[in-house]
């Protein structure tokens, strides 16, 4: 008795619908990245890994990597603290209010990051609304400038990336039956216990996805730090841009770009794997 093998996915007419997207990504994404990778390994004498050795042996470059990861981590934390309850409010709101909230969250995505960054320059300066508000609340004795500081960078970037935290969590929360928490209450569970053992585990896939989105974009942001904190605070993305645009050092720019890509891809791949494991364990 002969068994018929599984059909090739390329023989499936439905799979051919993905061909244009695959070709497009190969041309405008994969090939340029491959060129960057080969450029970083090419020296005057041919193949070499010296650019990576030189980069990783310089303490300044490790500070740049630390700046990149620290800012990305803080932006992710701020977005999560604000976005997690906002996702629940969005999922539990009435029809009209939900539409208004969705428009309020999605509409800012149509405004470019450059425009938002310039707007935050006005907000974060010494006479801006943030400084005036903190003085009015008594937290500061006198107005202070948040522009060109790491705190200002985190606030501006969190504002821009916040929708990418809210929407994945919202997409998971709206599938959770609100009666689950009520059932736990009838069994004597406290609100904290219900949140820790019912709500939080069910929302973990959305949390992981939101964290992956925000962290990967925060790691690779270029325009926002350039406008909100300037050249004195270097991240991997700004160092890459400076290498190509100012120093005309394509090998250094390619090396930093590859390292940045490895960090971003590692976060996305790791979070995808984690989300699948969490999703499988909660079903």
In the chain the domains, ranked by start, together with CATH numbers, are 11-40 (no CATH), 53-282 (1.10.3720.10)
Provide the strand spans (E) within the chain: 42-43, 46-47
- Reported as a pLDDT band with limits 50, 70 and 90, residue 195 is confident
- pLDDT, the chain, mean: 87
For residue 246, pLDDT beyond 70: yes
User: For 140-194, what is each residue's pLDDT tens digit?
Assistant: 888 888 889 999 999 999 999 999 999 999 999 999 888 887 788 788 888 888 8
Direct distance between the N- and C-terminal alpha carbons of the chain, in angstroms, rounded to an integer: 38
Q: Which DSSP category does 141 fall into? A: S
Looking at residue 277, its pLDDT comes to: 74
At residue 34's C-alpha, the angle toward residues 29 and 35, to 5°, is: 100
| Residues facing residue 46 across a β-bridge | 43
| Nearest in space to 145 (alpha carbons), one of 127, 157, 133, 118 | 127
| Nearest in space to 252 (alpha carbons), one of 58, 33, 60, 39 | 39
- Reported as a pLDDT band with limits 50, 70 and 90, residue 2 is very low
| Nearest in space to 222 (alpha carbons), one of 273, 268, 264 | 264
Q: 3-state class of 75 per DSSP? A: helix
| pTM (2 d.p.) | 0.86
Residues 6 or more apart whose CB falls under 8 angstroms from that of 149 comprise 124, 229
Q: Which residue's entry shows tokens 């030189």?
A: 54
């Amino acid at each position: 008795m002969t068994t018929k093998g599984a059909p090739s996915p390329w023989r499936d007419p439905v799979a051919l619908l993905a061909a244009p997207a695959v070709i497009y990504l190969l041309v405008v994404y994969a090939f340029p990245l491959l060129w960057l990778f080969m450029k970083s390994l090419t020296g005057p004498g041919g193949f070499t890994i010296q650019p990576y050795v030189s980069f990783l042996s310089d303490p300044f470059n490790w500070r740049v990597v630390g700046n990149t990861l620290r800012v990305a981590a803080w932006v992710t934390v701020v977005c999560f603290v604000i976005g997690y309850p906002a996702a629940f409010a969005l999922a539990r709101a009435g029809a009209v209010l939900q539409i208004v909230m969705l428009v309020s969250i999605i509409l800012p995505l149509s405004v470019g990051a450059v425009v938002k960054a310039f707007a935050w320059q006005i907000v974060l300066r010494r006479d801006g609304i943030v400084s005036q508000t903190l003085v009015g609340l008594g937290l500061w004795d006198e107005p202070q400038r948040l522009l060109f500081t790491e705190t200002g960078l985190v606030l501006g970037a969190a504002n821009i990336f916040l929708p990418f935290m809210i929407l994945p969590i919202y997409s998971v929360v709206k599938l959770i039956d609100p009666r689950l928490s009520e059932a736990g209450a009838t069994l004597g569970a406290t609100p904290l216990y219900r949140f820790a053992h019912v709500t939080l585990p069910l929302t973990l896939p959305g949390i992981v996805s939101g964290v992956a989105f925000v962290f990967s974009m925060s790691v690779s942001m270029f325009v926002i730090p350039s406008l909100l904190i300037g050249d004195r605070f270097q991240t991997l993305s700004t160092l890459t841009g400076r290498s190509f645009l100012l120093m005309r050092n394509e090998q250094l720019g390619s090396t930093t770009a590859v390292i940045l890509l490895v960090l971003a891809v590692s976060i996305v791949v790791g979070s995808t794997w984690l989300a699948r494991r969490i999703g499988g364990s909660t079903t």
